[in-house]
Amino acid sequence: MVDALETALRAAEAADAKKALDILVLDLRGLTTIADYFVICSGASSTQVGAIADAIGEALAREGVRPSHIEGGSEASWVLMDVGDVVVHVFQEEARTYYGLERLWGDAPRVPLVLAGPVLRGAPS
């Protein structure tokens, strides 16, 4: 069984493999009962948002983890995947800016990520 942190990291890796932008994992433990981690990333179009969400779903399924609920879809500007202790948010950039989850959860520590993609928003230097 994969724990919540490992699930969040697998989701981030799958997003990175689909060239998601600004991948971020927030550690919400002790801040809320909603989830232990948020994974937040962006795609350049609704098509890319859908592809990223599909890749995350497939990667987690290989680990035996399935979302209990998914909001949005292939034409959405925001796909939310509820994976129990992890909630994955895949945004188009303008929707991400509008909802500002990084600002809303500004007290949440960022989980350091080592990914192949571009420099991460909010990553430690």
110 in any annotated domain: no
Q: Is residue 120 part of a domain?
A: no
pLDDT, tens digit (0-9, with 9 covering 90-100), for 31-58 = 999 999 999 999 999 999 999 999 999 9
Domain assignment present for 113: no
pLDDT tens-digit series, residues 55-98: 999 999 999 999 899 998 767 899 999 999 999 999 999 999 99
Single pTM value for the model: 0.89
Asked if pLDDT for residue 118 goes beyond 70, the answer is: no
Q: Which domain holds residue 96?
A: 4-103
The pLDDT of residue 123 is 47
Give the CATH number of the domain where residue 75 resides. 3.30.460.10
* 119 pLDDT above the threshold of 70: no
Domain count, the chain: 1
Q: Of 111, 118, 93, 103, which Cα lies nearest the Cα of 8?
A: 111
